Amino acid sequence: MARRSSGLFRSAGLGKHAERAAGYGVAHRPAGFESGIHQRIPALKGRPVQPILVLREVSLTFNGSGASGGEGLEALEAVSFTVYAEEFVCLLGPSGSGKSTLLRILGGLLPPTRGEVHFALGRTARIGMVFQQANLLPWRTVLGNITLPLELQGVDLATARRRAQEMVELMGLQGFESAWPRDLSGGMAQRVALARALVHDPDLLLLDEPFGALDALTRERMWDELLRLWQSRRKTVLMVTHSISEALFLADRVLVFRQRPGRVKLDLTVDLPRPRREEIRYTPHFGKLARQLKEAIGGDTPILKE
């Protein structure tokens, strides 16, 4: 059984991985570490090569239910990967491959059965999370929904409102501060949800299909909004999606998950230039990367260990 200790989920027999994960921090990098990462992930050039999140052999099994019990459902099996500071990573795969379950583990909503999750900042790491539905509180205004995380942290109301107003301006929500959630379009509601997730300045932003419920045109506009937000705030982002185009347009890397039990079967570097514009989706190289991902999702791509 895994347990949380000093920001790290540990399990018996995995101590060596904890030491290795900690060593990825600052002092014990091998020669050529940064140049190797820059070569593998060109988008990180000019950015700090600092691991912010390390997963080692993370597994999750849901216990059997009902009168007969059962062996339980294995949702994730030995998931291992590293995410670097300011990196944008998409998790792609078929339904039921454990992507959303993994995000809930990272958000502290589920404990893993085995393995470990190491945050570089330990227990001080701040995490923001946005789901497919905006989940705004209907009895709070737009500004009131955005201030909520700060209020829960004990921030004084004047400071909370000032910081929320900054997010309103960043997300283009001016004039809607006093609006109620019922009066917002789907795209506007998701902007509020993003503002709420960012208002406490998270170190890691987890996005669980945040645009999945939107129509195609609104969804594509939100891609541009998210990239603009990411470029200005330089947050580390881990995003679940079922869309190959969405993953390639947004991400530095795409991790393809196999069908249950979920496990990374392909770690693809998206070597497309930034900033990205709509036209890039119609280039031959974009099409080549899309075919690679499609084959990985539907084919027999071997599992690649990090």
Does this model's pTM top 0.85? Answer: no
Grouped pLDDT means (10 residues each) for the chain, 306 residues: 37 31 36 51 63 94 63 87 96 92 92 91 82 93 96 94 95 95 94 94 93 89 91 92 96 94 94 94 96 84 43
Confidence at residue 88, expressed as pLDDT on a 0 to 100 scale:
97
Confidence at residue 15, expressed as pLDDT on a 0 to 100 scale:
34
The C-alpha torsion from 93 through 96 and 102 to 108, rounded to 10°, is 150
Confidence at residue 130, expressed as pLDDT on a 0 to 100 scale:
93
Give the pair of three-digit tokens for residue 91. 């998790």
Confidence at residue 39, expressed as pLDDT on a 0 to 100 scale:
55
Give the DSSP per-residue string, 71-134: S-EEEEEEEEEEEETT-EEEEE--TTSSHHHHHHHHTTSS--SEEEEEETTGGG--EEEE-SS-
Cα separation of the two ends of the chain? 24
Q: Where are the alpha helices (DSSP H) in 128-235?
A: 142-152, 157-170, 186-198, 216-233
Rg of the chain's alpha carbons, rounded to an integer? Answer: 20
- Yes or no: say if 132 and 296 are a contact pair by the CB < 8 Å rule: no
Give the pair of three-digit tokens for residue 224. 């541009």
CA–CA separation, 21 and 82 (whole Å) = 9
Give the pair of three-digit tokens for residue 211. 């645009």
Name the nearest CA neighbour of 147 among 105, 122, 187, 178. Answer: 178
CA–CA separation, 10 and 144 (whole Å) = 38
Give backbone dihedrals phi and psi of 41, rounded to 5 degrees, phi first: -125, 85
Confidence at residue 35, expressed as pLDDT on a 0 to 100 scale:
52
Percentages (nearest 5) of helix, strand, coil residues in the chain: 40, 20, 40
